[in-house]
Amino acid sequence: MTVITPIDVSEITKAVVAQLKADTRLADVTISRSEDENIDPNNCPWVGVYRLAVQYPQRQLASVAGFRSQQVQLLVLVTQSDLGSGEACEDALEDLVKSVLSSLLSDCTLGSVVQFLDGFEVDYTRYTRSGQFYMQTAAIQFTAITNTTIGG
């Protein structure tokens, strides 16, 4: 019997966090994995890494039946705050989104943990105010694509 083993999705989210933390542009950013979403304007800039879903479409490699691709959908929440205005908060959020995207796009294999990252999309999900702080959140969604392994 052929043993097909998927990659542990936690290894992918750990690799995303490691890549973001290694980027000097994000040195002053709080980066977390699978923690509660940040709602504290004093804890900004903030980035949270989450897994959303996994698909295993069948692939054919030589004559090995059951070999599958593994498509892991990921979410990175990016939150920024500003005491002055919503406009200044938007500018700060855009700078942070650009830095996160640049970091991820600079090594689309996450240090060879996956084959590549694809399907990047940014949604602006939350505009709030906490006291005098403006807070804005962007949701970056993308897919990590790799293959399951064959063997024990």
What digits encode the pLDDT tens for the residues 82-98? 999 999 999 999 999 99
pLDDT mean over 125-147? 95
**CA 111 – CA 150 distance, rounded (Å):** 21
H or E stretch including 76?
strand 69-82
Count of all residues that appear for the chain in the document: 152
Q: What is the DSSP letter of 112?
A: T
**CATH code of the domain made up of 4-150:** 3.30.2000.10
For residues 103 and 114, what is the distance between their CA atoms, to the nearest angstrom?
A: 15
Q: Is 20 left (phi over 0), alpha (psi -120 to 50) or beta?
A: alpha
Give the residue carrying structure tokens 């970091």: 103
Q: Give the pLDDT score at 28.
A: 97
Reported pTM:
0.92
User: What is the distance between the alpha carbons of residues 78 and 138, in angstroms, rounded to a whole number?
Assistant: 5
Q: Cα(74)–Cα(51) distance, rounded to whole angstroms?
A: 5
Query: What pLDDT, on the 0 to 100 scale, is given for residue 152?
Result: 58
Compute the distance between CA of residue 150 and CA of residue 102 in angstroms, rounded to an integer. 33
